[in-house]
A and B are shown apart, each in its own frame.
Chain A
Amino acid sequence: MIRVQREDFDPGAELDRLLAGKSHIGGAVSFVGLVRDMVGDRVCDKAPGPANDQAVGAMTLEHYPGMTEKLLDEIEAEARRRWPLDASLIVHRYGRLLPGERIVLVIAASAHRAAAFEAAAFLVDWLKSKAPFWKHEETPSGGHWVEARAVDDEAARRWQADSGTDGAKRGDFRPPR
């Protein structure tokens, strides 16, 4: 199941709802992505202000309505092809978010934990580089669009390395370079 929404979500309630009545599930792995109050890998050690112009005040997530839902559906379907999942969920927010706010929730549940851990990592890695979302950060020195990070592309690529015999099919799924 996937959802794209402006409003916040309650990870505990989402988990309970997803697993309700499915007693064959042995483990569920959930991931919550949050807005950080820093740019890149530089740790913010001061409150936002002129002395620390890298601090992020807020972030606005833009997306492509229609294509976002389509891509998230495809990403979830790909995870379910690769791992024996009994339940899965992606919730992604859009709009203006403040540091500390939740952006994304991913849950993967399976009879055994290994599939749940791997599928959850896959879902996050793939949606970061394949779902049509764009982050715009506000800092005291002005706003800017966040650039895609090579490390995120790398994270997505590691799942293509073990794609096996249907690698060509997955290649089609990759956005053009």
Chain B
Amino acid sequence: MKVLYFAWLRTRTGCAEETLEPPAEIATVGALVEWLRARGPGHAEAFKEMRVVRAAVNQSFVGLDHPVRAGDEVAFFPPMTGG
């Protein structure tokens, strides 16, 4: 599974992209967030306030209950500020 971080989630985790193999019981975006939090203080800080974290699976916006599986591209980012 490829996990991408953008904007301040990237600076807080200290990485733009990581390839991970979460255990099989990590079946949703929400469970993945919990698992990622335990990776270190940077990750814990990035996911501290989920109100301002958005997620995408395979480049489509999803909620925390959306399934994740091996091979997915999962991205985390704050609300968009383009234009």
Contacts and interface: CB of A to CB of B under 8 A. Distances in A.
B59 A70 contact: yes
Given A63-B82, A134-B6, 8 more contacts: A64-B77, A67-B59, A104-B82, A129-B80, A131-B83, A132-B56, A134-B77, A148-B79
Contacts of A142: none
Nearest to B64: A176
A40 interface: no
A136 to B, nearest CB: 7
B81 A146 contact: yes
B59 A131 contact: no
Most buried by A among B6, B62, B63, B83: B83
Most buried by A among B4, B61, B82: B82
Contacts of A131: 80, 82-83
A12 to B, nearest CB: 21
A144 B43 CA distance: 19
Contacts of A132: 6, 56, 77, 80, 82
Contacts of B61: 174-176
B59 A128 contact: no
Contacts of B10: 62
A176 B82 contact: no
A145 B82 CA distance: 12
A49 interface: no
Interface string A87-118: 00000100000000001100000000000000
Given A62-B6, A64-B75, A176-B54, A134 B59 contact: no
A134 B83 contact: no
Contact of A145 (B4, B63, B75, B78): B78
Contact of A134 (B55, B62, B64, B80): B80
B35 interface: no
CB-CB nearest 4 A-B residue pairs: A133-B82, A128-B83, A148-B79, A134-B7
A66 B59 contact: yes
A134 B81 contact: yes
B81 to A, nearest CB: 5
A62 B80 contact: no
Given A61-B82, A104-B82, A148-B80, A136 B56 contact: no
Contact of A64 (B6, B8, B79, B81): B6
